Amino acid sequence: MISPALYIGFLISSAIGLVFHLLRGGSLPRMILYLATSWISFSAGHMLGEWLDWRAFRVGSINLLPALLATLIGLLTASILAGRDTRPKTARRR
């Protein structure tokens, strides 16, 4: 990927990770897990699309379809492997 494509890919994968965290909820460490997972899996999906010469739904030099599929699979896998968030949501004051 070239520089502008790297920035666009970073923004798209960050947005997907943050939306996933918004839908699933959780703590700050869980959000960091989702962001890191989305960055890594988006890059892996793009590279896999390049390696297989899969030209479906390209945006510039980014193979968006395999990157999106890999990101969703990675986020669902991370969510399942991380398990439930056992931290209390808020502390009550009396």
Domain count, the chain: 1
DSSP string, 22-65: HHH---HHHHHHHHHHHHHHHHHHHHHHHHTT--SSEETTEEHH
Residue 88 included in any domain: no
Domain of 63 in residue numbering reads as 6-82
Residue 90 included in any domain: no
**Weakly modelled stretches of the chain, pLDDT under 70:** 1-2, 87-94
Residue 87 included in any domain: no
pLDDT at position 5 is 86
Residue 41 included in any domain: yes
Residue 1 included in any domain: no
Per-residue pLDDT tens over the stretch 11-33 = 999 999 999 999 988 889 999 99
Residue 89 included in any domain: no
pTM, to two decimals: 0.83
